[in-house]
Every structure is written in structure tokens, then in C-alpha cells.
Chains A and B, each alone.
Chain A
Amino acid sequence: MDFPPDTLHSTAPPPARAPTPHPAPLWAVRGAMSRKMHVAFAVLGFCAVLAVWLGLAESGWFNKVFLPRPQDVAQRFYTWLVEDDLLKDVSISIYRVMGGFMLAVIVALPLGLMIGTFRPVQAFFGPVMEFARYLPAVAFVPLVMLWVGIDEGSKVAIIWIGTFFQMVLMISEDVHRVPMAQIEAAQTMGATREEIITKVILKSALPSIMDSLRVTMGWAWTYLVVAELVAANSGLGYAILKAQRFLQTDKIFAGILLIGLIGLVMDQLFRWVHRQRFPWLYA
């Protein structure tokens, strides 16, 4: 007869096996999580930050000039929207980011594709790009102002310098990672070089290129603020700088939060397009 080992030496009845399977443990290593639970935790994360902020601000330990209360920031946000033309600041900033970013994409995409595909192009541009990537974009600000002036072009140029070189290298890496078997399969089917590039390499690398663009978009926002802090009379970065002069800490907070919020929305937009455009990755 088979006894569970623990019943042999004990008088207590063996513990009954649970008839239903365990609910998936929440803290399992690399465990799974339902969508609802995920959203709940994400909301909780934001609430925690807000709570800490509120607690510190209400504690009275800090001067309001150093740490405004959340409600003050909300209030400032409202007056900025109604009285100070928030939308104009937001739209001009988005316009600059988009301008610099799109110009970078237009050049980086074909160049990255060529670098990742053809060895001579890689040998020619690769090392130069690796070098240029380490040039601090911020240090280019005086040069850009000298060359391009202080109008819209300079902000776009700084964003371009800040994102372009990274973007080229990331795209060329994405292209380079296309499995050789996919390319050779097309070759054995008689595909021409152009067909291999357009029908295989580009199609295969597009999802990861899209991800690379999403990441570089974040950097574009960083460089926007740099550009607007230094040389602008409009936009979110400029608004933050102006608020500093008037010690409007709540407005600085509002500006920073707003940039974060716009970044988050853009990121989610990228992810949404990714899901729509590349269904096979989510099937």
C-alpha cells in the first residue's frame, strides 16, 4: 500500500490536497499577471508618488517655494491653461520635437538601412557615427546659435544632433540583426538585391526599428528642453526657465510633469501603432 510519507509516523490525518489548482501566485519569479491587476498596480505606483509628495508638502518641513503642494501645482496648471496660453507652449514644443525628430528619421532610416546591409557603407559611416555619438549635443548649443541663429531652426538642429547619431546606430543594429536565413531564403528564391532590401530586410527589421524610434523620441524631449532653456522665447522649456526667474516653483513642477505626461502619451501611441502594425508579434 502506498502511504504519503508523512502519514506513516503521525496520527494526524494527512492534509487534504486542494481540489482546485492554486491561483497563480502573484510573487512567482517571472510570474503572470492579469490585465486588471497590472493596471491596478500601475495606478497604485502613481498614487504612491503622489502620496509621498502630498505628505512631505503638507508636513510643513519645507518652504512652499521649495516644494509646492500638489493642489498648488494643479491650480497653477489651470491658470496656465486659461490665462497664460499653455496650449501654445505645448504645441510649439511638440512642433519642435516632431520637426527635429522627423528630420532625424528621414536621414537615419535610409542610412541605417544601408549601414546594416552593406559592409562598405558600414566601414565608411560606422566609425564616424560611433565617434559623433559621443559628441555632447548640449555643447553644440553655442555653435548652433552661431550657425543657425536663434529662431526655430536652432531648436530643431539641437534635437537633430541629439537624436540622429544614436538613431542611425540603433537602426543599423536592428537591420543587422535580421536573420541571415531569411535573407538567404529570398536569395534562393531568386530575389534581386532591391527585393531583398525592401521585401525582406526592411519588413523584418521594422518592428525593432519602431522600438528604437520610440526610445529616441524620449531623448528628443530631453534635448528640446535643453534647446528651449538656452535659446527660446516660447515653449515648455522656456516656460520652466521663466518660472524659475519668478520663483514660481509650482509652475516648474507643472512644466516638468506636463513634459513627462506628453512623453508617456507619445510612448503609448508608439506602442499602440506597434500592436496595430505588427499583429504577428502579438498573435
Chain B
Amino acid sequence: MPKLNIRKGSKIFNTGKITLHALQDINLSIHENEFVALVGASGCGKSTLLRIIGGLESFTAGDVSVDALPIVDPGLERAMVFQDYSLYPWLTVAENIRFCRELKAHQKDNSLRATYHAIGRAHALMELMGLEHISNAYPNQLSGGMRQRVAIARALMPAPEILLMDEPFGALDAQTREVMHELILHLFAQERSTIVFVTHDVEEAIYLANRVVVMAPQPGRIDSIYNVPLPPAGQRHLDMKLAPEFLSLKKEILQRIRATARVHTDAGLLDKLTKPHHHDNEEGRSL
């Protein structure tokens, strides 16, 4: 049975006169311990789909369920990492990571053992993400990469079964991003959770995921799904990005995205734009 199941999901935004099909007839099953990346041209609804899985939004029609239980709102078995600005600037790194312990939903077991376990997990996560030396720093003292590490550690703190990541490295530079990729793969191999990852970077999607779901806009829909022919997370390394099968998959996916994005260069229009007066004069003369 799939961990996460989406059946005939569609979402329609009605803003006055305009009706927008943000998502149409989405069918997707994600299995336990699978890493699925959602890519696609802007406006394809990949972030909306992730937010629906997270319980922050909902389908207009259709079902989404975790372990066959329908998702109606955010749940403790699902955690989410946002692109930026989601950390609490008034809390230190360690306090941010432990934030969920402040919430009633996570205080059902307040025994000493559970508390010790939580402290231990917070420390383990900080060590895993390389944050021990800055545990007392405030988020605005950190670089973007470090802030995202804290955000990931915070999401992992309650040991979620499903981790949802919405372009988590979109604001980072290329080098920091590569470091984060290694970290995510290491973490995925260790934590053995299920990850749904939204990105606009196809290379990132292939390098991290087991499956890449290509979505298309207008209406937002699943265009195609690719299995990634790379070894499991723990055995991937950067050189694989140059392997022929990696590159051909990247090319294929990019072509699909371009084909669905409906972006094309109109040679005639360009010509008109660059020599407008010339054409006008000619027409004037002929008249």
C-alpha cells in the first residue's frame, strides 16, 4: 500500500471573472522511504500540490491520504520545509529546533524519558546538520545555507514520516546547494523517511530523487514520471551528475518542461521588434 496516495485531485481558483485550473486530475502514489521530486514550469501547481499534501491547502475535488487516512489539515506525521523566512528570529538555533516541544500537540508524553529523548534528538540533529557550534546564535546571524539547515533540523525534530520540501534551496548559491544536496542524501539514508521535494532545478531533482514527476501548467497536471537510474541515496556522489545516463535523463526532462511551458521564440515577431520603422516606411510608400 502506498504511503501517500492522491486520487483525481483537482484545484480550481475562482477569483471573480477568472477561473484558474491550478491542478487537474492529479493521480500519484508515493511509497514509504521514497524520494519524489516535483519539477515543472512555473504555474504548473507543484508548490500548490505540496501544500495540499502538507494540509495547508485542499483540493476542490479529489482525495489525498496518508496511510489511507484522508488529509484535512497539517498533521504531525508530515513536516514541511519552506524556502525561507520560516525560522523564528527571536529564538536561537537550538530553541528553533526544539520549538515543537513547546506545542501541546507534542507534549502528550511529558515523562522524563520522553524529555531526555527529545533533548538527545535535538543534539543529534544539530550534530548531523553541523550546527552544534552555532546552537546559541540567532537566525539573522547565519548565512542562508545555515538557516536552511536549521529549518530542516526543526522539521525533522518530531521524527516525521513524510518530509515535504518546497524549493528549500531555491535561494542558495550553487556551492552551498551542492553541500546541502550531500546533507539531504545522507539524511535520507539515515532517517529513512519519505520525502516529497519541489524544485525548479532539474539537476537537483534527478540527483536527489528516486522518481522525478514532471508537471505542466494550464491546467496544472502531471505530464510524465521518470525513474532515476542512480544507486540509492547513500551511494550517490557528485561525479554521477556527469554520467551519460544522468545527462540524457536531464535533457529529456528539460525538453518535456520546455515543451509544456509553451514558451517559444517567434522569429517573425522578433524581426518586427528590431526593425519596426523600416516596415512602417515600406508600408507607407506602398500606400
Contacts and interface: CB of A to CB of B under 8 A. Distances in A.
A147 to B, nearest CB: 42
Nearest to B56: A184
A41 interface: no
B104 A280 contact: no
B85 A188 contact: no
Contact of B85 (A179, A186, A283): A179
Contact of A190 (B74, B86, B137): B74
Given A181-B82, A184-B80, A195 B103 contact: yes
A258 to B, nearest CB: 37
A184 B222 CA distance: 26
Contacts of B80: 184-185, 188
A266 to B, nearest CB: 24
Given A179-B85, A181-B84, A195-B104, A189 B99 contact: yes
Interface string B99-142: 11011111000000000000000000000000000000111110
A203 interface: yes
Interface string B79-102: 110111111111000000001101
Interface string A200-241: 100110100000000000000000000000000000000000
Contacts of A186: 99, 103
A7 interface: no
A186 B78 CA distance: 12
A280 B136 CA distance: 11
Contacts of B88: 182, 200, 203-204
Given A280-B89, A280-B138, A283-B138, A184 B82 contact: yes
Given A185-B82, A278-B90, A280-B89, A190 B106 contact: yes
B55 to A, nearest CB: 7
Contacts of B68: none
Query: Do most interface residues of chain A lie in helix, strand or loop, or is the interface mixed?
Result: helix
A206 B76 CA distance: 28
Interface residues of B, number: 36
Interface in A187-203: 187-192, 195, 199-200, 203
B220 interface: no
A204 B56 CA distance: 20
Nearest to B96: A185
Contact of B56 (A188, A199, A203): A188
Interface residues of A, number: 23
A190 B105 contact: yes
Contacts of A189: 74, 76, 79, 99-100, 103, 105-106, 154, 158
A279 B136 CA distance: 12
Contacts of A191: 103, 105
Contacts of A179: 85-86
B75 interface: yes
Nearest to A194: B104
B149 to A, nearest CB: 15
Interface in A235-283: 278-281, 283
A169 B55 CA distance: 32
A3 B44 CA distance: 57
B85 A280 contact: no
A199 B74 CA distance: 18
Contacts of A199: 102-103
Most buried by A among B89, B154, B158: B89
A182 B147 CA distance: 13
Most buried by B among A188, A200, A283: A188
Contacts of B82: 181, 184-185
Interface of A: 179, 181-182, 184-192, 195, 199-200, 203-204, 206, 278-281, 283
13 contacts: A184-B82, A184-B86, A185-B80, A185-B151, A188-B54, A188-B56, A188-B79, A188-B155, A189-B76, A191-B105, A192-B103, A195-B104, A280-B90
Interface of B: 54-56, 73-76, 78-80, 82-90, 99-100, 102-106, 137-141, 151, 154-155, 158, 164
